[in-house]
Structure 1
Amino acid sequence: MTRPAAPSNTREILRLAVPAFGALIAEPLFLLADSAIVGHLGVAQLAGVGLASTLLYTAVGLMVFLAYSTTPAVARAIGDGKLGKALAAGRDGVWLALLLGTVLAVAGFLAAEPLVGLLGADGEVRGYAVEYLRWSMPGLVAMLLIFAGTGVLRGLQDTRTPLVVATAGFAVNIGLNWFLVYGVHLSVAGSAIGTSIAQWAMAAVYLVMVGRNARRHDVSLRPDWRGIRTMTSVGSWLMLRTLSLRLAILATVFVVTAQGSVNLAAHQLAMTIFSFLAFALDALAIAAQALIGKELGASRPMRARELTHTMIRWGAGFGVVTGVLLAAGAPWVGFLFTSDGGVQSALTAALWVLAVGQPLAGYVFVLDGVLIGAGDARYLAIAGVVNLAVYAPLLAAVHLIRPDGAAGLVWLWLAFALGYMLARGVTLGLRARTDKWMVLGSH
């Protein structure tokens, strides 16, 4: 009886994961494009954009619950046959994104200089970081709206539309950035402005689609403040989970900043590539969120368990493939972003460590998606705090020892890509072995 189920699992997963892969990598591709364009301006510009991007994506990362809470809420309602409830949840997510995005954008613009200073940057690097961060703030609101709109469509089992939107946005982003940086000579500000414009164009598409779906099914576009409060309550646990992840990344940046601008620039590139691969591996996690939410909403726990086992195998296998490809290409990747030999050498060493950790990363990202899809936000938040407590001593040891040159970056990535990710794998794996996360029906 289990034999016929495998092809069905495969079709369902691929139907969502393949388009999700293209859509997910759009955001890190924005950053990769920025890094490639800005990297040829100089090391200080690249390092400044790296610091600003860390702060920017910390704020954005904390708000990822707008997608991660909307997707399972919509998917559960769809599985339970309640389309109106699904669309109402999506609408409330969009309103919450607009409110939070506006507040964060204003605060980020006003606090850009002290925020950059907290990471220990000074001189030219600090100036470029502040400039990039401030010009990125208009696009922050759009990024949050994109999260919410994408979450709605994923919950509706549609990952193809986000792929089309993301592809078009990426093309516009590259063209605008190149023109504004080199054509108009706006330096790092041009890169931030171009990305913001592209993100608003993408957000507009999602707003139109969510509005049309709601009107077609007689769902009011006005905010339901009770629904928004419910979304915020669920999202608070996911925010804590994400906060622990971002604190780990911020602490890592703080340590590498003390190693000098060469290692900082190389780390920025390595982290960008890590993010790119993470989003690629996360395609399975997105499929997990949508499928697990739908199956639990339809009260089919055995089906949810089958899908989980299949996606775990796929995640680890895909991690092996990306690891091998990354290890083979590591010596040449640096040439795409910078002509500085020191940065290229340090980057190569860091990427080899990252390559070794890819199978573990695949396992972690899939299980993370499964538990998010199940709405197990409280456990994910608590586990995130535990993982951070495990990582802190490893990071402190690297900071205190301070190995010279590229060796410092290698030890830093050993602590992050292997030590921290292993802690995440253990806490997620232990939870997945139980049935406590399998809450059935829409709620």
Structure 2
Amino acid sequence: MIFGMIMLMTFGLVDTFFVGLLGTEELAAISFTFPVTFTLISLNIGLGIGTSATIARYLGSGQDHLAKEFATGALMLSFIMVGTLAIIGELTIEPVFRLLGATEEHMPHIKDYMYVWYAAGVFLALPMVGNSVLRASGDTKTPSMVMAMGGFVNAALDPILIFGWGPIPAMGIQGAAVATLIAWLAGMFYILYLLAIKRKLMLPRLLTWQEMKLTSRGILKIGLPAAGANMLTPIAGGVMTAIVATYGSEAVAAWGVGSRLESIASIIILALSMTLPPFISQNFGAQKMHRVEDAYKLCIKFVLVWQVIVYLLFMLTSSWIAMAFAEEADVAQLITLFLFIVPIGYGFQGVIILTNSSFNAIHQPMSALILSIIRLFIFFVPVAYLGSLLFGLEGLFGGAVLANVLTALVAYLWFKRALKLSQNEANMTNALEGERS
């Protein structure tokens, strides 16, 4: 998973690089599309989480026939939901992007890109959900390769379709969207072949209406809260950026660089958040709660130790990193300040992310959603804002760390309690079954 995520990040940068060569207007236009495309991707992530948790539980309890039925239902549901949103998106491009602040100069470029991207989004849904089916069965290697190959195809086609080559005409910004469509279309066919023919992890037919209702209800019960939790993060990020902006453009630039470095520093955590839940769900389905607890605690210990190492690396190389990202001395100084304070909290942030994933894995999606709300809007934004009022920008950075520490403590104690309750329920169920037999 780490390998796949690094490849995707790299090729995403390549995509932005080639569009940037077209000009400032094109680069600005594609920047306007990020909130909209992230909404569709968040829905896919949510459906993937619901799919993985449900199927892994059935596999763990030995109900393979239900796992196949839910895999088929998840793919059909994602196609229908994302397809519906894509049609709505196609019809509302102009009003939505005007609301986001796009000007007349941006609109032609946005339309060229989004008309194709919405169609491509439907083909993205099936590989993302299909990868979740594979992870639920214990295979994390294949999804990683699918992610990497999709990114590679996209990056390889970008310069050809954007600038033209031989008989292929230059398509401009639309070429970037066409490259994405081709990459995801190839991924969709490969995933369907794997699931339906090679691995036989889904049914080789469409579900009936009754089957579709049953599977959709189970997947959406976890998927919709998970998608909602994903969408909260950019909202909180926008609020924090607005607070940082009161300290000037230099502070915003430093915060932006720090946020990008945070995503790189959190790759291990994010990879674990994808691989831990299937393990937990399978053992949860098999009622082996001691294995759930052991896995959760082991991962928590690991991320706390790992992120201390990451913090030390950031601290030792902070001056070099600041010089690499900023030409102005004021910005470089603020980046250094960020790297000396904020990464202290990355390990605790890892505890929160893994606990959130674990709640979804034991089929408590509302607990995961509430934990996200607590983290972002009870602790993160308010504590960081209070810190900024008391101690300026240093207080804001320190407040972000304190917020992660407090939320991590709440998350850990809450999940331990949830595991204890689940263990008691499992013991009662086993006792009743024993009496009946």
TM-score of the superposition, structure 1-length normalised? 0.77
Give the deviation of 1:57 after TM superposition: 1.3
Amino acid at match of 1:372: N
Q: Secondary structure at the match of 1:299?
A: coil
Contact 1:255 1:395 in 2 (8 A): no
2:123 match: 142
CA RMSD of aligned residues (A): 4.0
Change (3 A) 1:341 1:134: farther
| In 2, Cα distance between equivalents of 1:128 and 1:348 | 34
Q: Which amino acid is the alignment partner of residue 247 of structure 1?
A: I
Task: Tell me if structure 2 keeps the 8 A contact 1:35–1:46.
Answer: yes
Give the match for residue 104 of structure 1.
Answer: 85
TM-score by length of structure 2 reads 0.78
What residue identity is the alignment partner of 1:81? G
Identical-residue share of aligned pairs (%): 21
CA contact (8 A) 1:150 1:206 kept: yes
Aligned residues: 414
> C-alpha distance in 2, partners of 1:422/1:187?
46
Within a 5 Å distance, the mapping from 1:49-60 to structure 2 comes to 49-60=30-41
Summarize the alignment of residues 58-137 of structure 1 with structure 2, pairs less than 5 Å apart.
Answer: 58-120=39-101, 122=103, 132-137=113-118
Write out aligned runs for 1:246-395 (5 A).
246-252=234-240, 271-325=259-313, 348=335, 352=339, 355-390=343-378, 391-393=380-382
Change (3 A) 1:283 1:55: same
Distance 1:179 1:216, change over 3 A: closer
Partner of residue 237 from structure 1, selected from 199, 220, 225: 225
Shift of 1:94: 0.7
* Residue deviations 1:100-154 (CA, integer Å, cap 9, x gap): 1111222223333433344445576677566544442222112221221011001
Q: Tell whether the 8 Å contact from 2:15 to 2:158 is kept in structure 1 after alignment.
A: yes
CA distance in 2, matches of 1:80, 1:136: 39
The 2-side partners of 1:69 and 1:54 are apart by 23
Q: Which shows bigger deviation, 25-34 or 125-134?
A: 125-134
Cα 1:59/1:81, change in 2 over 3 Å: same
| DSSP-derived class of the 1:157 partner | coil
Are residues 125 and 387 of structure 1, via their aligned partners in 2, closer, same or farther at CA, if it must alter by over 3 Å? farther
What's the CA shift string for 1:244-296, capped at 9, x where partnerless? 33432454567779999998787666555544544442111222101111111
The verdict on how the C-alpha distance between 1:192 and 1:220 changes in structure 2, with shifts beyond 3 A counting, is closer
Runs of at least 5 residues in structure 2 that lack an aligned partner in the other structure: 430-437
Residues 426 and 218 (structure 1), Cα distance of their counterparts in 2 relative to 1, 3 Å cut = same
CA 1:29–1:202 in structure 2 vs 1: closer, same or farther (change >3 Å)?
farther
Matched residue, 1:425: 408
The Cα of 1:30 is off from its aligned counterpart by 4.0
Structure-2 separation of matches of 1:161 and 1:221: 24
Matched, 1:191 2:172: no
Q: Which residue of 2 aligns with 1:8?
A: none
CA contact (8 A) 2:257 2:335 kept: no
Q: Does the 8 Å contact 1:88/1:219 carry over to 2?
A: no
Q: Kindly name which structure, 1 or 2, has the bigger radius of gyration based on alpha carbons.
A: 2
Question: Partners in 1 of 2:306 and 2:383 — Cα distance?
Answer: 27
Contact conserved, 2:40 with 2:82, CA < 8 A, in 1? no
Quick check: 1:116–1:130 contact (8 Å CA) kept in 2? Answer: no
Unaligned runs of 5+ in 1: 1-19
Q: Is 1:156 equivalent to 2:137 in the alignment?
A: yes
The alpha carbon displacement at 1:311 in A equals 0.6
Q: Is the 8 A contact 2:161 2:171 kept in 1?
A: yes
Q: Does 1:23 pair with 2:4?
A: yes
Give the residue type in structure 2 aligned to 1:68.
I
Letter in 1 for 2:303: G
Instruction: Kindly state the Cα deviation for residue 340 of structure 1 after the two structures are TM-superposed.
Output: 8.3
Q: Take 1:163 and 1:239, find their aligned partners in 2: how far apart are those partners?
A: 21
Post-superposition offset of 1:413: 7.0
Q: Which amino acid counterpart does residue 291 of structure 1 have in structure 2?
A: F
What residue identity is the alignment partner of 2:278?
A
Alignment deviations for residues 22-63 of structure 1 (CA, whole Å, 9 cap, x no partner): 234444344333234344555655454334223311331133
Deviation for aligned residue 1:186:
4.2
1:204 aligns with 2:185: no
Query: 1: distance between equivalents of 2:179 and 2:52?
Result: 29
Query: In 2 relative to 1, CA 234–218 (structure 1 residues): closer, same or farther, beyond 3 Å?
Result: closer
Tell me the SS of whatever aligns to 2:73.
Answer: helix
Residue identity in the other structure for 2:66: K
Paired amino acid for 1:199: W
**Cα distance in 1, alignment partners of residues 334 and 22 from structure 2:** 18
- In the other structure, the counterpart of 2:433 is none
Q: Per-residue displacement from partner, 1:63-91 (whole Å, max 9, x unpaired)?
A: 31211111121111111112111121111
Whole-angstrom distance in 2 between the partners of 1:351 and 1:178: 36
Deviations 1:182-202 (A, max 9, x none): 446544433333223212221
Q: Distance in 1 between matches of 2:118 and 2:38?
A: 11
- The alpha-carbon distance between structure 1 residues 49 and 317, as it changes in their structure 2 partners (threshold 3 A), is farther
